[in-house]
Homo-oligomer: A and B are copies of this chain.
Amino acid sequence: MADSRFDSMRWNTLSSRTIIKDRWVNLRADDCQRADGTMIAPFYVNQLPDFVVVVAVTEDEKFVMIYQYRHAIDKVILEVPAGCLEPGESMEAAAARELLEETGYEAGELTFLGKMAPNASCLSSYAWCYLAEDVRKVDGQKLDETEEIAVVLMAEEELLKALREGRVEQAVHVGALYQALDVRKGRSLTRQNKE
């Protein structure tokens, strides 16, 4: 999306090597050079896969939120459902599947909210964010062996309060929730103007 005027800001990667690759990590070290010749070497990138994030809202306007432990900050935090793609799966299918597995709620129509990089400096992954509306509880949870998730439903006012008080701590989830609120409000204004 960036302006081509800024192309000269890009770094040229002269060489790249893998430091460690395992289930939860894929760290590479790049030797980079700027257009003015300055070397930035090595610069480290954790090359993790893209993932999906789902803001889900029930027919009676409750947000389907979860509590989950996050090891890097050693804390159980308030989030929205999210997860990685299975082989061959589309983003939309992954979003619907993760929502169902983590909460037992089935996605109605999915709206793409946008994609965001959790940390564009040192992590290559993007979060693809979706809004699922009119979701319905159809099943129990089906969790991976490393997952333990508690589901909570929150009204919009309660969610806004949590956002304002910093109780949604993951940046991608904060961004996706505000985008979802923005999209839903835009629609509601459109409806009001038509009436």
Contact = CB atoms under 8 A, between A and B. Distances in A.
Identical copies in the complex = 2
A76 B10 contact: yes
A11 B121 contact: no
B7 A76 contact: yes
Contacts of A1: 77-78, 165-167, 169
Interface in A119-169: 119-124, 126-127, 145-146, 148, 150, 163-167, 169
Contacts of A150: 5-6, 9
Q: Contact size class for A?
A: 35 or more
Interface stretch (A18-26, A89-97, A98-106, A187-195): A18-26
Interface of A: 1-3, 5-7, 9-11, 19-20, 22, 24-25, 27, 30, 32, 34, 38, 40, 42-48, 67-78, 114-124, 126-127, 145-146, 148, 150, 163-167, 169-172, 174-175, 178-179, 182
8 A-B pairs with least C-beta separation: A178-B178, A174-B175, A70-B120, A114-B166, A25-B44, A2-B76, A171-B171, A116-B171
